[in-house]
Amino acid sequence: MKTGLELYIHIPFCAKKCNYCDFLSFRTLPTVHNAYVRRLNEEIKYYSEICADRRITSIYIGGGTPSLLEPELIVSIMKNIMENYDVEEDAEISIECNPGSAMRHKFAAYRKAGINRLSIGLQSANNEELKRLGRIHSFEEFLKCYQCARMEGFSNINVDLINCIPGQTGATWKKTLKNIVMLKPEHISVYNLIVEPGTPFFRMNECGLLELPDEDTDEEIDEFTRSYLKQTGYERYEISNWAKPSYECRHNIGYWTEKEYLGMGLGAASFFDEKRFSDTRDLQKYLELDFFRKDIEKELYSEKKELSREEEMEEFMFLGLRMTRGISSTDFLVRFKVQLESVYGDKLKKFTDLKLMEKDGYRYRLTDRGMDISNLIMSEFLLSDENTEVKSRNY
Ligand code: SF4
């Protein structure tokens, strides 16, 4: 029986950089798109031999903006994977699209190539908010894009939204969410805006020019999101993700449950054969790679490392607590040969007493309130300051 593996393919190009974005993506000439996909296809081929004993359970083409590419390029990537890997018949195969660059003929090509899930980056149904975010599309363009996707037969669609946008009010957020739910997508992702260093929003914030919603609006938005999505048949299964029953994103669940994945393309991260590594983030270097060279790994990876025991424990907590089903103390014991409570007992008690976590049998999970402030909670599960203590325990 072959071991399962997820594939992630990174397309780092965008028509324009959004004001909040710190992803590895940039604008470049279409000739570079062609050269990049040529190299990417070589990388896909290179790994196919290493993955001969693996069965591919999901493929995710993300970015950047994969839909910016000419559809023939996406088709060539898919063809290459299908010909060289053992892809499960019912594998979930997703592609990310921007409503400003997705057209009906592209969707037709994606379907033909075997892609069965779309993730459309809308972010807001309010055109003023879209402009503030620096998005290249309007809500009306999104509607057209969504309709085309349905007409081409896509029956598994995610819509990405962002809340706590500068200038956003409880009322504009409610309108956005209601407009999207009316379309009945199978999956909705809702991310809280984070002002990341190096972005235009960060610089504006430094100068006091960014009017972010206050705490009360923030709470109103979170509360409405939870109750409205639940009431309309969406189940929250992760901090930022809601789905109709059986439409949870299998690929992302794989990340959160520590399944192995192989990332290909600029800066793509992998967890493969118990090692974590990432491709180079330097585009010029990537374009010059020679995948036929024996020592290609030295050139390809920007870093490769094995996690320490403490880092593995931290990761178990961070990833597991993202999911609404939480973490199992039995899984922790089986994996680390130590009781969860003997490592994290004081934190678990603290957050349970504060009603930010709850215990149900062998499982611990974040409550709704805990999910809203998950970043603060997760930071307390870092073991780095307690390394000595953990190492001195008798495993
Ligand atoms: S489209 Fe997505 S990846 Fe591209 S700049 Fe905007 S947020 Fe970043």
DSSP for 61-127, please give it.
EEES-GGGS-HHHHHHHHHHHHHHSEEEEEEEEEEEE-TTT--HHHHHHHHHHT--EEEEEEE-S-H
- Say whether 331 sits in a helix, a strand or coil: helix
pLDDT at 220 over 70: yes
In sequence order, which residues have a C-beta less than 8 Å from that of residue 99 and are 6 or more positions away? 120, 121, 122, 137, 141, 142, 144, 145, 146
Spell out the residues 6+ positions from residue 225 whose beta carbon is closer than 8 angstroms to its own. 163, 173, 177, 190
Ligand 1 geometric centre to CA of 214 (Å): 25
Report which of residues 375 and 187 the model is more confident about. 187
pLDDT digits (tens, 9 = 90+) for 20-63: 999 999 999 999 999 999 999 999 999 999 999 999 999 999 99
Across the range 165-187, mean pLDDT stands at 98
CA distance 9 to 94: 10
- What percentage of residues in the chain have a pLDDT greater than 90? 90
Within 10 A of 128 (CB to CB), how many other CB atoms are there?
A: 12
For residue 162, report the distance from its CA to the centre of ligand 1, in Å: 12
φ, ψ for residue 14, nearest 5 deg: -140, 155
How much distance in Å is there from the Cα of 243 to the middle of ligand 1?
23
Q: Which residues line ligand 1 (CB under 6 A)?
A: 14, 17-18, 21, 23, 25, 63-65, 98, 121
Peptide bond into 254 cis (omega under 30): no
Mutate to test the pocket of ligand 1, among 11, 14, 196 (most ligand atoms within 8 A of CB): 14
CB-facing half-sphere around the CA of 134: CA atoms within 13 A: 11
What is the model's pLDDT at position 96? 98
Determine the average pLDDT of the residues in 360-372: 95
Partners of 301 in the β-ladder:
279
How far away, in angstroms, is 165 Cα from ligand 1 center?
Answer: 15
What whole-number distance in Å separates Cα of residue 177 and Cα of residue 189?
11
Ligand 1 atom closest to residue 20's alpha carbon, by position in its atom list: 7
Per-residue pLDDT, 38: 97
Q: Which atom of ligand 1 is nearest to the CA of 134?
A: 6
Average pLDDT, the chain: 94
What is the Å distance from ligand 1's center to 23 Cα?
Answer: 7
Number of the ligand 1 atom closest to the C-alpha atom of 64? 3
Domains annotated for the chain, with CATH where assigned, are 3-255 (3.20.20.70), 309-392 (1.10.10.920)
The pTM of the full predicted model, rounded to 2 decimals, is 0.94
Confidence of residue 296 (pLDDT cuts 50, 70, 90): confident
Strand partners, 121: 160
> Does residue 317 surpass a pLDDT of 70?
yes
Q: Is the pLDDT of residue 389 over 60?
A: no
Nearest CA to ligand 1 atom 6: 18
Mean pLDDT on 177-184? 98
Q: Is the pLDDT of residue 393 over 60?
A: no
Q: For residue 99, what pLDDT is reported? A: 96
Strands (E), the chain: 3-11, 54-63, 86-97, 117-123, 157-163, 187-192, 235-238, 241-243, 261-264, 269-272, 275-279, 301-305, 327-328, 357-360, 363-366
**DSSP-derived 3-state class of residue 361:** coil
Binned at pLDDT 50, 70 and 90, residue 390 comes out as very low
State the average pLDDT over residues 96-125. 96
pLDDT of residue 254: 96
How large is the average pLDDT for residues 341-351? Answer: 97
| Predicted local distance difference test score (pLDDT) of residue 385 | 55
Lowest mean pLDDT among 78-82, 98-102, 121-125, 136-140: 98-102
pLDDT on residue 384: 66
Q: Assign 391 a pLDDT band (cuts: 50, 70, 90).
A: very low
State pLDDT tens for residues 228-240. Answer: 999 999 999 999 9
- Which of 13, 16, 22, 25 is the pocket-test mutation for ligand 1 (most atoms within 8 Å of CB)? 25
CA of residue 22 to ligand 1 center, whole Å: 8
What atom of ligand 1 comes closest to residue 14's alpha carbon? Answer: 4
Confidence check: pLDDT of 394 > 60: no
- What residue's CA is closest to ligand 1, atom 7? 21
Q: Distance from the CA of 25 to the center of ligand 1, in angstroms?
A: 7
C-beta of residue 164 within 8 angstroms of C-beta of residue 192: yes
